[in-house]
């Protein structure tokens, strides 16, 4: 994988890290207006309500340093090659569509749950979309897992990761993680790739 970052990937990394620094300096100031809140949260007087811009803005906030690190590591590892494949303009569109698709899936899931509203943050929806695109474009490329350090082809890594997210989401395991949002990001990315392939050329 290339160490030379493509321009949109670099800009996304800088934006996410920069906004996280602002988060550290301001506490929860950005969470109220810019995290993704359930539509039903308007029924709770003390909870911020849903706003349309949250469909994108939540994807540039993070819940801690580890959350930021792993999302940015994946963006660094896969973003440049996907960007060079799609072209910068389509790559940015693809990434943001994945973020919105993840938000839509999360809103549906949160709307079906009878519990006080909690905010959703993180770039994972866009990152999972990148993983999908990478696995489709380079299915035989070897990927080394961190834990455990086992190499496997990209197509298998993406398939297993998607199945794991589905299992964790259905069983309710891994509390505090938006598993269906991850799947929503992958689904939105796949739909857009299919549209580009059959509807019009990428470049």
| 67 part of the active site | no
| Half-sphere exposure for 31 (CA within 13 Å, toward CB) | 15
Q: How far is CA 156 from the centre of its chain?
A: 19
- What lies within 8 Å, CB to CB, of 105 at 6+ separation is 180, 181, 183, 184, 185, 187
Query: CB of 184 within 8 A of CB of 101?
Result: yes
The number of beta carbons lying within 10 Å of the beta carbon of residue 10 is 16
Please tell me which residue in 62, 124, 179, 198 is annotated as part of the active site: 124
| 173 part of the active site | no
Rounded Cα–Cα distance for residues 183 and 28 (Å): 27
Name the CA radius of gyration of the chain, rounded: 17
Please tell me which residue in 62, 90, 179, 182 is annotated as part of the active site: 182
Q: Catalytic residue numbers? A: 124, 182
């Amino acid at each position: 994988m290339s160490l030379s970052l493509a321009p949109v990937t670099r800009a996304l990394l800088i934006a996410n890290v920069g906004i996280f620094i602002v988060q550290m300096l301001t506490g929860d100031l950005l969470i109220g207006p810019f995290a993704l809140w359930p539509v039903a949260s308007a029924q709770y007087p003390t909870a911020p309500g849903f706003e349309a811009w949250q469909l994108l803005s939540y994807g540039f906030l993070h819940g801690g340093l580890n959350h930021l690190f792993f999302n940015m590591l994946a963006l660094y590892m896969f973003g440049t090659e996907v960007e060079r494949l799609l072209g910068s303009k389509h790559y940015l569109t693809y990434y943001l569509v994945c973020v919105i698709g993840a938000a839509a899936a999360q809103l549906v899931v949160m709307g079906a749950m009878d519990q006080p509203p909690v905010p959703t943050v993180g770039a994972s929806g866009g990152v999972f979309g990148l993983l999908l695109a990478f696995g489709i474009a380079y299915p035989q490329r070897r990927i080394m897992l961190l834990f455990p350090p086992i190499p496997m082809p990209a197509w298998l890594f993406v398939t297993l990761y998607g199945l794991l997210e589905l299992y964790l989401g259905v069983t309710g395991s891994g509390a505090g993680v938006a598993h269906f949002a991850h799947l929503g990001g992958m689904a939105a990315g796949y739909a857009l790739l299919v549209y580009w392939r059959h509807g019009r050329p990428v470049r």
